[in-house]
Amino acid sequence: MITVIPVTTKKQQKVFIDYPLKLYAGCDQFVPPLYGDEKKIFGKKNAYHDTCESSFFLAYDGDKVVGRISGIIQRSANEKNNEKRVRFTRFDCIDDLEVARALFSAVESWAAEHGMDTVCGPLGYSDLEREGLLVEGFDQLSTFEEQYNAEYYARLIEQLGYKKEVDWTECKLYLPDSDSAPAGEKSASDQASVDRMADFVMKRYNLHIGPADNVNDFLRRYADDFFELLDKSYDGLYGTVPFTDNMKKMLIANFKLIIDLDHVMVILDEHDELVCLALCFPSIARAVQPSGGRLTPAALVRLLKAIKKPRILDLGLVAVRPDYLNRGIPAVMCSMLMKMLREDGVEYCETNLNLEDNHAIQNLWKRFRSVQHKRRRSYVKLLNAEDE
């Protein structure tokens, strides 16, 4: 018989965090989050406590843990969209419908008790957490920023009455003339034409590259304006929430270690005001795998090597000032990204999640040799609707 219990003790919190590490032990595609970051979601200093309520559940078959799930009421998102939603996240279980049903029933009951009428996800506390259920690309290495899951998860969730709400796609981006690009893949333009277009845009609008002496100087100069720009740029996108001061501090602390100024794009106007900022991160997926996301001395050595000589770049945060969206900034971004790939000896760049109906970003990657290799999905279920 399957029983589900709420997570209330330190011991249960550890079981909750450890479960996917055990479930995916030996899975080459699975990349764990940082163990310390997962512990913080239970602490009083969780950056999202001021805007969210959380619940955590474990499923047992006898004394054996067979699944986990978390529910989130993201009040900022609900207020912004005039909704009464609970997000489910950190769902993992064995391939058993009874286990999945018990876990989702716990979240749905918790949602109803709090006056909510809809459950959606997988979505985290914000869109900067891991989100989306992998539905294509199970043979591909996950990025550090996103979660891996087995193929059967979608079947279980759909059998419980959840329907697709949105899909994201992910691509590998190669240089247009790269020998490492898959055979048969084509790009819409070459590097030279993109560079010429970027140079024209920079001169026409009196733009220049923003300076920074080091990472601390970069954060001092641009962090506040960048978060403000992100709020404006991401406002209408699915699952986004405004940044709070605590969220900003948390993100700076999380990303400071892996920011490399060689992989940052900062574009300023003639008044030194921010027009575009994009962060690319060296892939640390392989570096954190052996330790299960724990920052052991050996893991730190692997991290430093991955940051110093990356083979893969992960596209992180990108924001463009709205009044420059139709002024050729995408060409400048492509040119700078191609330069990173060309000069640093990087094999390819991972886009991470792009909404499938965000045609502007989808068209941007046509300048590269691009390969769509993953797809993720967010599901939704109305609690007052009967399961089909």
CA–CA gap between residue 117 and residue 218 (Å, rounded): 43
Tell me the pLDDT of the chain averaged across its residues.
91
Distances, alpha carbon 66 to alpha carbons 158, 244, 272, 306, 362, in Å: 19, 35, 55, 34, 38
pLDDT bracket for residue 49 (50, 70, 90):
confident
CB 165 within 8 A of CB 378: yes
We find that the CATH architecture of domain 172-374 is 3-Layer(aba) Sandwich (3.40)
pLDDT score of 387: 46
CA–CA gap between residue 113 and residue 273 (Å, rounded): 47
**Average pLDDT for residues 18-36, to the nearest whole number?**
97
pLDDT score of 388: 43
Residue 261 DSSP code:
G
Residue extent(s) of CATH 3.40.630.30 domains in the chain: 2-170+377-382, 172-374
**Polymer length of the chain:** 388
Distances, alpha carbon 302 to alpha carbons 9, 80, 310, in Å: 33, 41, 11
Which ranges constitute the DSSP H helices of 289-377?
Answer: 297-308, 329-343, 359-364
Q: What is the pLDDT of residues 167-201, one digit of tens each?
A: 999 999 999 876 555 655 545 457 788 889 999 99
pTM of the predicted protein model: 0.92
pLDDT score of 39: 94
Options 3.90.1150.60, 3.10.290.10, 1.10.10.10, 3.40.630.30; CATH for 2-170+377-382 is: 3.40.630.30
Residue 308 DSSP code:
H
Q: What percent of the chain has pLDDT over 70?
A: 96
- Other beta carbons within 10 angstroms of residue 248's beta carbon come to 16
pLDDT higher than 90, residue 160 = yes
End-to-end CA distance of the chain: 25
Q: Which of 349, 337, 336, 278 is nearest to 310 (CA)?
A: 349
Q: Kindly give the pairing relationship between strand 369-382 and strand 133-136.
A: antiparallel
CA–CA gap between residue 128 and residue 317 (Å, rounded): 9
Which of 51-55, 139-143, 232-236 bottoms out in mean pLDDT, i.e. has the lowest?
Answer: 232-236
CA–CA gap between residue 33 and residue 69 (Å, rounded): 16
- Say which residues have a Cβ less than 8 Å from residue 14's Cβ, sequence separation at least 6: none
CA–CA gap between residue 212 and residue 266 (Å, rounded): 9
> What single-letter amino acid sits at 27?
C
Residue with tokens 């054996």: 64
CB 144 within 8 A of CB 34: no
pLDDT higher than 80, residue 164 = yes
**Average pLDDT for residues 103-117, to the nearest whole number?**
98
CB 65 within 8 A of CB 227: no
CB 35 within 8 A of CB 293: yes
Q: What is the pLDDT of residues 364-373, one digit of tens each?
A: 888 899 999 9
pLDDT score of 257: 79
pLDDT score of 189: 57
- Say which residues have a Cβ less than 8 Å from residue 238's Cβ, sequence separation at least 6: 127, 165, 166, 355, 378
**Average pLDDT for residues 69-96, to the nearest whole number?**
96
pLDDT bracket for residue 260 (50, 70, 90):
confident
CA–CA gap between residue 110 and residue 86 (Å, rounded): 9
Residue with tokens 């492509």: 334
